[in-house]
Amino acid sequence: MNMKKISIMIPCYNESENIHALYRALRKQIGRLDRYQWDIVFADNGSTDNTVELLRSLSEKDGRIRVIVNQTNYGVERSSTNLILAASADAIITISADLEDPPSLIPKFIAAWEQGWKVVLGKYVTRKENPVMRAFRSLYYSIIAAFSDVKVERNVTGFGLFDISVIDEFRELGEYSLVTRFLCAELGYPIKYIPYNKPKRKGGKSSYSLLKYYRTAVDSLVLTSHAPLHLASFFGFLVSVCSIFVALYYFIQKLLHWNTFELGLAPLTIGLFFLGGVQLFFIGVLSEYISSMIKRQQHRPYVIEKERINFEGYGKPGRPERDEDDSE
């Protein structure tokens, strides 16, 4: 009887200070689950430190270490998507390289998978971060909860286990980036959540800036909801109705008080800037959705791979080929 195989998938960028500690922690958990075949797949997203050299050295010592080296930094979403679609195991476990996702949860993920759960995600109860970032994160989840077309669980990242049948479904979708927690909710997969306490990163500095967090938040809203478009339509209608009533009010006042009523520049200036601000805001909303549509239609590769290490026997992942009818 063939043993089932599990792949641990790890995107990384400038994580040289964490690679060895992460590898030791993973080996410790793997040693406790000897009823499975294992491999650990790293995807380096154009690191500028010696991360690739460390991964190459580990792969020479341990044949279960596989490495994808990207040509340059394509962003965490595209790199992670390419990594996930490289899976050829019965299940994959996605985990961050900074040790904020504790490897000690792996046995719990496996136990839930053995019980029949196809998607098992970690849900952090506490997280060590500054109060400002905590406030922004809370606001982000509140906005997503208010506008999303699907129920999105709070405090859930991509850390978790996915059955290969789920990954195959992702391949068929051909998405330009896989935000797994949103896709699983949208596709209706039952999800098992495992609570944990999220520690600070072990070493190094996060490459995520406030601007990148903002970009992720906007992309998440666009991916999960059409409500901003509906809101733009409703708000445009509301402003138009209000403008008509204001115009009628001033028209009537002028007729009744022709010689004494003066409009003045203040209402005109305020109204002009208000309407201009509303128009620019909703043009921005439209541009986000148009940008998302363009990305879906371009059908470009997720990344250009510079090198693959220890990938003998693996097929090269990619988006499903479109039928000729799809381009019509």
Query: pLDDT tens, 76-125?
Result: 888 888 888 888 889 999 999 888 899 999 999 999 999 999 999 999 88
Please report, for residues 233, 240, 251, 252, 268, the alpha-carbon distance to residue 245 in angstroms, rounded to integers and kept in the order given.
19, 9, 10, 10, 15
* pLDDT-derived band at 208, boundaries 50, 70, 90: low
**Mean pLDDT across the stretch 305-314?**
79
Q: Is the pLDDT at 209 greater than 70, yes or no? A: no
Q: What would the DSSP string read from start to end of 163-205?
A: EHHHHHHHHHHT-SS--HHHHHHHHT--EEEEEEEE---SSS-
CA–CA gap between residue 65 and residue 8 (Å, rounded): 10
The three-class DSSP label of residue 38 is strand
Write out the two tokens for 89: 């195991």
Across the chain, the runs of DSSP E, i.e. the strands, are: 5-12, 37-44, 65-70, 91-94, 119-127, 156-163, 191-198, 305-309
pLDDT at residue 296 in the model: 67
Which pTM does this prediction carry? 0.73
Q: Is the pLDDT at 230 greater than 50, yes or no? A: yes
pLDDT at residue 320 in the model: 39
Query: pLDDT tens, 13-69?
Result: 988 889 999 999 999 988 888 889 999 999 999 898 899 999 999 999 988 899 999
pLDDT at residue 318 in the model: 43
Region 5-225+301-318: CATH code:
3.90.550.10
